[in-house]
Amino acid sequence: MEKAIEIINSSEYKPTMKAKLIDYIVEVSKAKRMYKMSPNHPNSQTLKRYVDRLVAINVNPVTIDKKWGFEHIETPMY
């Protein structure tokens, strides 16, 4: 999470978009899902655009907070 926030803050997005993207990844980490969050959030099309913007700067929208106690999630594909 901390690295993702650092990347977002160093991107060329405007400050308001940076704040929205950071809020989005924090909400995703709390909700543990990407498109069904609190009613305060925009519609799913806007959320998909947030994901596209995060992908464009190489940030995975599903982040892992340090408080969870692990660095990565093993993929079952390998």
Give the pLDDT confidence score for residue 29 in this predicted structure: 78
| Domain layout of the chain by residue ranges | 2-66
Compare 27 and 73 and report the one with higher pLDDT.
27
pTM of the model: 0.73
Question: Tens digits of per-residue pLDDT, 29-73?
Answer: 776 555 555 556 667 788 889 989 999 999 988 776 667 676 666
Banded pLDDT at 22 (limits 50, 70, 90) = very high
Q: What is the dihedral of CA 54, 3, 12, 37, to 10 degrees?
A: 40
